[in-house]
Structure 1
């Protein structure tokens, strides 16, 4: 009799635990939809998205257990991509990078006796504008190009002027430039357009729309003019470190396919190789974490993702994710 009571109690405990886990998932799902303003076409699609969300939550939970045990250098969390399959995330947020377009007029090489600061964060100098969101458009190349131009403009004029990504999206996605609009592009080609066009519009005069439209450049609304561009010596992390310290924010292109669930910390996991270099972002500094070690500080264009729109990635780690392979900044 006592054994039967114990068994019934155990069954009740297991059932209550399952109900508890179900309730937690339901609560997380409802909060996710509310926080990220998610709506779906029909019940079938919502059930599919809910299952994907559940699967991703299991991956996040498993990873974070390793993070708490000191086996990972970064943590994962829920964001606007948690209801997407990995392939959907890659296809919607990243585009094709035309590596043949990475040829600027000049190559940056650091001076031999330059003593660099231990850490750099260009936000502290007010050289970095607010985090933006590219939407469901692979226009990261335009945001990275705009970011490095804004930084150089600030360092020259001591005034931060937000520039137009949509201007680049509309006007450099056609011949003779090699950009592909929402399907990808090259920060170098974007900078070449600005040089040859004798300027780029301000963001306030040419707002971001997240799709390619007719070129509507306005000669009376120019926010910046550049005279050329400079590539940082490819694959050289030391040169990149010197460049961001000496010259300001730098456009870089990385393999970001594994950043879907990143929430914070220093990303330090092997990436997929050169075939995946198709996400351009803005390098705004570097530093050293007490636990995770040396890191790069980067501004993304995915809205309130990661560390408030920013993320950190391992530095001095064999050019992790190709961060030093395609780096460029403009000349003003």
Structure 2
């Protein structure tokens, strides 16, 4: 056993030397801890590649957090399950929302079910009254869409339906994202989709199953929908007017709202604080669920539920900057269902 372990270490050392990579020995224990925490296993050759990417991300995070301590940023970063991926790999695997142009063309074909929620011009300063729909029992626990399935659109849609179902019927039911991934003909399954298509599918399909009856697998499978197992239905959906005032009014008066953001690579390493993205290059198109809003240190934020598990961000949530020029386009594409 000891000989085998020794030979493995020697082989890894040879591969590292041959690749020309020099790792930071100060990070050895952190690397081992991170691999254990996120259950990462690699071949010897792959370990070199992933360790190199991970160290690059660690240095990027450390530099950002140093600048945060100097007052240059409003949020901190941290390693997570994505820290061994390049920006390109992450974008290809995890951001599964369709571009806005595709969403718009889809809506034009199905506009019989569209309603529009507009800002009513309320003079009251709603920002002074924080909202958190979790305290009303209208939000299910954070779940994980998996490392290789871009199904954020499905999690965003089910979250909005779950909230409306709870508020109307009194019971909170975790609904099946897999039902949408397998059966929604407008989506691209684990590749991309959007909440509007998901709502439209549930309307035409006369319902959606629960997570219990149709569990999540994080891969596209054959549609196994059973009408007798329907756990929730919706009648229509509503597009929120594309500004933060309208989104605020909808979150306050309606409940959890689906949103699709456009952000830069810093988004995936978010840990805590209020996320503000000033980078000109945006590479991530991602759907989530706004479950409230509030203020912290005189800075307004949207409280947003993600679908990357509780090890990402602030226990699976992110506070995104609010009233700062519609940052990340957070209010540009918001919607909710009517049950």
TM over 0.5: yes
Give the structure 1 partner of residue 193 of structure 2: 185
1:255, 1:271 within 8 Å by CA — same for their partners in 2? no
Q: Deviations over 1:242-261 (max 9, x none)?
A: 00110000000001442121
Give the structure 2 partner of residue 242 of structure 1: 249
State whether structure 2 residue 215 is matched by structure 1 residue 212: no
1:90, 1:257 within 8 Å by CA — same for their partners in 2? no
CA-atom RMSD, angstroms? 1.7
2:120, 2:246 within 8 Å by CA — same for their partners in 1? no
Correspondent of 2:182 among 152, 170, 181: 170
State whether structure 2 residue 282 is matched by structure 1 residue 285: no
Matching of residues 62-81 of structure 1 within 5 Å? 62-81=63-82
Q: Deviations over 1:34-77 (max 9, x none)?
A: 0000011x211101111111111111111100111111100011
1:122, 1:284 within 8 Å by CA — same for their partners in 2? yes
Deviation of 1:114 (Å): 7.0
2:263, 2:277 within 8 Å by CA — same for their partners in 1? no
Deviation of 1:287 (Å): 0.6
Give the structure 2 partner of residue 33 of structure 1: 35
Using the alignment, how far apart are the partners of 1:272 and 1:245 within structure 2?
31
Deviation of 1:158 (Å): 1.4
Correspondent of 2:206 among 198, 202, 207: 198
Give the structure 1 partner of residue 6 of structure 2: none
2:119, 2:241 within 8 Å by CA — same for their partners in 1? no
Runs of 4+ in 1 over 4 A off after TM superposition: none
State whether structure 2 residue 304 is matched by structure 1 residue 295: no
Give the structure 2 partner of residue 101 of structure 1: 106
Paired positions, count: 304
Correspondent of 2:313 among 296, 306, 315: 306
1:271, 1:320 within 8 Å by CA — same for their partners in 2? no
Using the alignment, how far apart are the partners of 2:279 and 2:72 within structure 1?
18
Give the structure 1 partner of residue 16 of structure 2: none
Deviation of 1:220 (Å): 1.6
Q: Deviations over 1:149-190 (max 9, x none)?
A: 000001101110110000001110x2xxx2111110010010
Correspondent of 1:110 among 103, 119, 123: 119
1:96, 1:185 within 8 Å by CA — same for their partners in 2? yes
Using the alignment, how far apart are the partners of 1:111 and 1:148 within structure 2?
22
Matching of residues 49-68 of structure 1 within 5 Å? 49-68=50-69
State whether structure 2 residue 257 is matched by structure 1 residue 269: no
1:184, 1:278 within 8 Å by CA — same for their partners in 2? no
Give the structure 2 partner of residue 10 of structure 1: none
Stretch of structure 1 that moved more, 87-96 or 190-199 = 87-96
Using the alignment, how far apart are the partners of 2:176 and 2:222 within structure 1?
14
Q: Deviations over 1:217-266 (max 9, x none)?
A: 111211111000000012x1100000011000000000144212111110
Using the alignment, how far apart are the partners of 1:221 and 1:295 within structure 2?
38
Gaps of 5+ in 2: 1-22
Gaps of 5+ in 1: 1-20
2:164, 2:255 within 8 Å by CA — same for their partners in 1? yes
Correspondent of 1:121 among 125, 132, 142: 132
Q: Deviations over 1:255-295 (max 9, x none)?
A: 1442121111101122557x75621000101111116x011
Using the alignment, how far apart are the partners of 2:123 and 2:201 within structure 1?
33
